[in-house]
A and B are shown apart, each in its own frame.
Chain A
Amino acid sequence: MNVKSALNKIQEPITTADPQIQLIIKRVLQLEKDRLDLKAPRNINEDILKIIKEVIQ
């Protein structure tokens, strides 16, 4: 397997998910990335809950 397809395959579980699940994953990952430098990001649990509730209505 070449490098590109191997690396693409890693993300397959995300890219093949339902649009709503994909949206949750993408928004959660972005949030985590933004706050990666903080050891204990404040209110992150509430923010993630908010994402889920916003996406699944």
Chain B
Amino acid sequence: MKLIALQLYNFRQFYGKTPIIKFAGGKQNTTVIYGNNGSGKTTLLNAFTWVLYEKFTAAFAAPELLINKRAIAEADCDRAVEFWVEIQFEHDYKRYQLKRKGYATKNKENYLQSNQTKLFILIAADDGRWYPPVEPAEDIIERILPVSLHQYFFFDGERIDHFFRADRNNNIAEDTKELLGVKVLDRAIDHLKKAKKSLQEELEAIGDSTTKKLLQQQIQLESERDRLNVRQQEIIQTIKGLESKKKVITHHLLELSGAEKLQKLKEKLVAQEQLTRQSLIQAKLNLKQLVSNQGYRAFLLATKNKFFQLLKQLRTERQLSSGIKREFLEKLLENETCICGEKLEPDTQAYHQVHSWLNKSETTDLEESVIRLETQVNQFELQLTEFWQQIDRLQNQINHQYTEIAKIENELDKVNKQLRNYPDRDIQKYQENLEFIEEKIKELTLEQGVNQQQLSSDHKIIEELNQQIERHKLKENKQALAKKRIVATQEAIQRLSEVRLRLEKQFRVSLEQKIQEIFKFISFTPYIPKLNLDYQLTLEDNTLDQPTMIAASTGENQILSLSFIGAIIDRVREWSQRNTLMGIDSSTFPIVMDSPFGSLDEVYRRQVAKSLPQLANQLVILVTKTQWRGEVEAEITDYISKEYVLIYNSSKPNCEEDWLKLNRINYPLVKLSSNQFEYTEIVEIERKAQNH
């Protein structure tokens, strides 16, 4: 944050609008504002803290009375009077204009009432025009210079010796850590832990997905399927072999004289059996077809009765026919003669009467349709009888074929028996062989059927398993991803925790180093400042064998605090230049300091004055004439590029006027007010102009 300008309106001692106070920057970074006690130095310091944070420093008396006394005295009763402070600053190459407004109203009893203040912010765009930002002003300021840290940058020099007293409520360690970005780290760690928990819950929700078991099952089933397939092929081959063997034996049997007749009979029977079996299959097929095509007829009787009842009812109610056909009426009208002989010429009454019947008559189509439907429905019964007759015929056929097959089989058995017992040993042997082969083929065919059933059921299970495995694989992928994310989150947490640990330790060590450096420069004592884990500063005497703690004097405490502030600014600047991830985006810090030399003696004043302009990027000091003594002026003058004097206009008739002599020119510090009110004027000192 680089301060650009400040302006006040009806704020405490300052009546109306003050001139714009512009602040020094760059190499000559110091602005000095001179003023006597009571002239408004503390008010100016508090104008900064009020406009930015609506806060006040400890020495600021009666903060509830911010409105200028004259402004409120001149105002009408119950009329709100405005007061405000406006500040302009630059941050990260952007210009900000911040204005806090308050209103005060007095009632008839001169009782003052203040309303809530309002904060307005504008940001300069690249085109130079001012725009209100979308975000609330407080949020923007909080990011630039957090409220908890403002005491490092806007403070009362006479009171900084209290900074490190144990009884102080504010926690310097916490504030400093916030400046470094520890809060960002803490929040990141905390929220990452929560994210990790959510990821773990997600992993649980995905559930157990051991696909191994399923895969094993699949492998087993597949190998069983393969085995069965091989076996089926074997069976086919074996049956083929057996069939050809059978053919050969049958051939041999035919060739052998004596059995020839029997064998031929057997062949004939076998052929007959095959034929009958085929007829049986066909008959069964016909029966099935008949039932599926016409079976419904058996259930139509009730519907048929219902249909005739409905028809009867419609006829009784004459809903089906009016008795007069449309075509008949049309013919009469066309011939222009009624059946009674009366002429039906158009537009006559008789014509209209006959014509009106047209609407009541129905077309022959409907009547015809009804008659057709009636005939068809009447045929149902006949068809049903035919259906049952056909069924009986087919069943008889089937029964007959069964009997026929049984008869053939019986005869075959007989022939086989004869062949088995045939006197010729060879024929007997062939027959036995043949029967053995037939038995074997039967056995194998059975096995083939069983295997086929097994194969088709296995196929279904394998299909299901495949689907399951696919689903589980998907789950497994999700699981793996969830696990990967958990591991990554855990690593991020660990690394951030490590950064936090290092930040706390290293930063404190490097801060202590810088404090010691600054303290050594200012102080003539051999003591060394120590910064403990809670950021409490103590002084140690290292000249003795055993380092001992020193009870610091008020002056030493002031120097300690200044060293601390200077070190903080230096180290945070260093840190923020090196790190854009955590800390605040700032490497420029101002110091606005009221009464910077407090109760220091001459040596310390000189050293403090020497080091002050180097502590911060920008320095605004508010001093009294006595604080601005020779050694201070001598040390700081080279850094000054802006100077203002606060002229206190006293309403006290015999007030003692006072002057400030700068560059051999006298500037009034206290003078008599031209009215009954006391107020302060701000006047810029133009040194360069004086030099010319």
User: What residues make up the interface of A, taking CB atoms closer than 8 Å to B?
Assistant: 3-4, 6-14, 17-18, 20-21, 24-26, 28-30, 32-33, 36-38, 44-45, 48-49, 52-53, 55-57
Question: C-beta contact mask, B192-231 vs A, less than 8 Å → 1, else 0?
Answer: 1011001100000000000000000000000000000000
Q: Are B195 and A25 in contact (CB under 8 A)?
A: no
Q: Are B481 and A45 in contact (CB under 8 A)?
A: no
The 8 Å CB contact of B184, one of A32, A53, A55, A56, is A32
Q: Are B489 and A52 in contact (CB under 8 A)?
A: yes
Q: Are A3 and B574 in contact (CB under 8 A)?
A: yes
Leading 7 A-B pairs by shortest Cβ distance = A13-B495, A13-B498, A37-B139, A37-B142, A10-B502, A29-B581, A48-B195
B581 contact set on A, CB distance < 8 A = 11, 14, 25-26, 29-30, 33
A21 contact set on B, CB distance < 8 A = 488, 491-492, 495
The complex places the Cα of A30 from the Cα of B578 at a distance, in Å, of 15
B506 to chain A, nearest CB (A): 5
Q: Are B187 and A32 in contact (CB under 8 A)?
A: yes
- CB closest residue in chain A, given B585: A33
B582 contact set on A, CB distance < 8 A = 29, 33
The complex places the Cα of A11 from the Cα of B513 at a distance, in Å, of 20
- Interface residue B262 (Cβ < 8 Å from any Cβ of A): no
A20 contact set on B, CB distance < 8 A = 488
Q: Are A37 and B138 in contact (CB under 8 A)?
A: yes
Within 8 A of A (CB), among B484-500: 484-485, 488-489, 491-492, 494-496, 498-499
The complex places the Cα of A24 from the Cα of B575 at a distance, in Å, of 22
The complex places the Cα of A9 from the Cα of B502 at a distance, in Å, of 8
- Interface residue B183 (Cβ < 8 Å from any Cβ of A): yes
Q: Are B513 and A24 in contact (CB under 8 A)?
A: no
The complex places the Cα of A57 from the Cα of B274 at a distance, in Å, of 69
| Interface of A, helix, strand, loop or mixed by DSSP | helix
- CB closest residue in chain A, given B511: A3
- Interface residue B143 (Cβ < 8 Å from any Cβ of A): yes
Within 8 A of A (CB), among B557-596: 571, 574-575, 578-579, 581-582
Q: Are B488 and A56 in contact (CB under 8 A)?
A: yes
B600 to chain A, nearest CB (A): 28
Q: Are B506 and A7 in contact (CB under 8 A)?
A: yes
- Interface residue B287 (Cβ < 8 Å from any Cβ of A): no
B510 contact set on A, CB distance < 8 A = 3, 6-7
Q: Are B578 and A4 in contact (CB under 8 A)?
A: yes
The complex places the Cα of A30 from the Cα of B491 at a distance, in Å, of 18
| Given A14-B496, A37-B139, A38-B139: 5 more A-B contacts, CB < 8 Å | A10-B506, A17-B492, A21-B495, A29-B188, A33-B184
12 A-B residue pairings within 8 Å (CB atoms):
A6-B509, A6-B510, A7-B578, A10-B502, A13-B494, A13-B496, A25-B496, A33-B181, A44-B191, A49-B195, A56-B481, A56-B484
B143 contact set on A, CB distance < 8 A = 36-37
A33 contact set on B, CB distance < 8 A = 181, 184, 581-582
The 8 Å CB contact of B578, one of A8, A24, A36, A55, is A8
The complex places the Cα of A56 from the Cα of B185 at a distance, in Å, of 21
- Interface residue B604 (Cβ < 8 Å from any Cβ of A): no
The 8 Å CB contact of A25, one of B194, B199, B495, B503, is B495
